[in-house]
Chain A
Amino acid sequence: MTGLLQLALSCLRVGTFVFGGGPALVPLMRPDVVVRYGWLTSDQFADAVALGQVTPGPLLVTATFIGWRVGFQAGGTWTALLYATVATVCIFLPSFFMTIAASHQLGRLKGNPRVQQITRGVEAGVVGLVAAAAVEMARDALGSWLQGVMLAAALVVLVRTKVEAAWVIGACGLLALMARFAGLLS
């Protein structure tokens, strides 16, 4: 039960502060999931983000994966279903209520110069957070030089072209699979 409460609070907190869209989930969620509670290994977390990325819809459904894992460890499939549902609801709930609350105040909110300043500050801060999260993930994800090359190549493709992330992820997976069979990747 503590696990469920921790999960719910963690997702509510992430949902409250996930400014700037999906990728901001990573710096907010990873410390809780990987470091503080140890729900997932660093690799599993990266895989969860990959699944969130290749499925349609927002990246925040990564919470479903995490909830499932925590629940399954706690007591099998039905518990997993419950935990996954709680995690997903909790991560979307804060912005749901905030949107409805804000829709009454829209004129004041949008025209307010202070809100604009805060928004721009947060936008800038989120860039730093997401970049730091990428560095942290890279430290754990890179086991061989080939993976480093893949990261660099994928980054160039993603920044320079409009190829969608899901394709890049799939392509890198296939390349790694071939490399492993060729003996290039242990």
Chain B
Amino acid sequence: MFLSCLRIGATGFGGPMALVSLLQQEFVERRRTVTSEEFAEGVAIGGILPGPIAIDAAVYIGYRLRGWLGALSAAVGLVLPPFVLLLVLTPLYFRLGRLPETEGFLAGVRPAVVAVIAAAAWRLGKRGLAELPALSIGAFVLVASLLCSRIDDLPASWAWVQRAAPTIKALSSVALIVASGLLGLLIPRQPRLPADGPPNTEKGAQP
């Protein structure tokens, strides 16, 4: 379990769904320790709970197979390779980040990262904002979040707001997530999402 996850953690480039499909190849197709139904359940859990979907799914599988030890080795195995890599790259970044070559490179990296985040919003939005109620929640949160981070631009007479500004900025994201969950309760229920539908594994998302 640990070694499998270690290998997947070290080779899983390309975002959450790439990791999920690697996990599926390893545990469902190659080692056959998990049925595709169980795997789909893990992915479903990962979709409901916070955290990276692949880690949640791996922890679920690990826990089902070997209990706490399995869950722990799945999580550690997946996270260890990027963790070690970051431990090497971060000091390197702070040592070399000021060189003109690095600065030139990073001047292009930064807009690209913004594009990656914007593309993620687009990708999540295609699925998450398909209906009008969801779209209005998304729009509300977008506007509210932008307002919260623009608190400093308020007129000076609003000093009491500005004093709380760092706290508001830091907590607004959490507050908005909770609020959108509550607003979600107002969305009309949809019978088209069967509780035990066919195992919807991530084949389609595989590039």
Contacts and interface: CB of A to CB of B under 8 A. Distances in A.
Interface of A: 13, 15-23, 26-28, 31-32, 35-36, 43-44, 46-47, 49-53, 55-61, 64-65, 68-69, 72, 77, 80-81, 84, 88, 92, 94-96, 98-100, 102-103, 106, 109-111, 113-138, 141-143, 147-148, 150-152, 154-155, 158-159, 162, 164-166, 168-169, 171-177, 179-181, 185
A147 B110 contact: yes
A68 B92 CA distance: 11
A141 B54 CA distance: 30
Nearest to A175: B108
Give chain B's interface secondary structure class.
helix
11 contacts: A27-B145, A31-B169, A56-B82, A57-B82, A58-B55, A99-B56, A121-B185, A159-B119, A174-B105, A177-B101, A180-B100
Contact of B51 (A36, A99, A109, A150): A99
Interface in B156-207: 166-167, 169-170, 172-174, 176-177, 179-187, 189-190, 193, 195-196, 207
Interface in B70-124: 71, 75, 78-79, 81-83, 85-87, 89-91, 93-94, 97, 100-101, 103-124
Interface of B: 9-16, 19, 41, 44-56, 59-60, 63-64, 68, 71, 75, 78-79, 81-83, 85-87, 89-91, 93-94, 97, 100-101, 103-125, 127-129, 133-135, 137-146, 149, 166-167, 169-170, 172-174, 176-177, 179-187, 189-190, 193, 195-196, 207
Contacts of A130: 117, 120-121, 124
Given A56-B11, A165-B116, A176-B108, A68 B50 contact: no
Given A114-B185, A123-B128, 18 more contacts: A13-B174, A21-B120, A55-B82, A56-B85, A64-B83, A95-B59, A96-B59, A96-B71, A99-B56, A100-B60, A100-B68, A111-B196, A126-B128, A127-B125, A154-B116, A169-B112, A176-B109, A185-B107
B166 A116 contact: no
B22 to A, nearest CB: 10
Contacts of B106: 43, 47, 173, 176
A34 B161 CA distance: 19
A132 to B, nearest CB: 4
B194 to A, nearest CB: 9
A51 B117 contact: no
A25 B169 CA distance: 15
Given A47-B97, A120-B134, A135-B146, A18 B87 contact: no
Contacts of A141: 110-111, 113-114
A43 B98 CA distance: 12
Nearest to A89: B79
A52 to B, nearest CB: 7
**Which of A35, A123, A128, A136 neighbours the largest number of chain B CB atoms within 10 Å of its CB?**
A128
B67 to A, nearest CB: 9
A111 B169 CA distance: 35
Contacts of B111: 138, 141-142, 147-148, 150-151, 154, 172
A175 B111 CA distance: 12
A176 B104 contact: yes
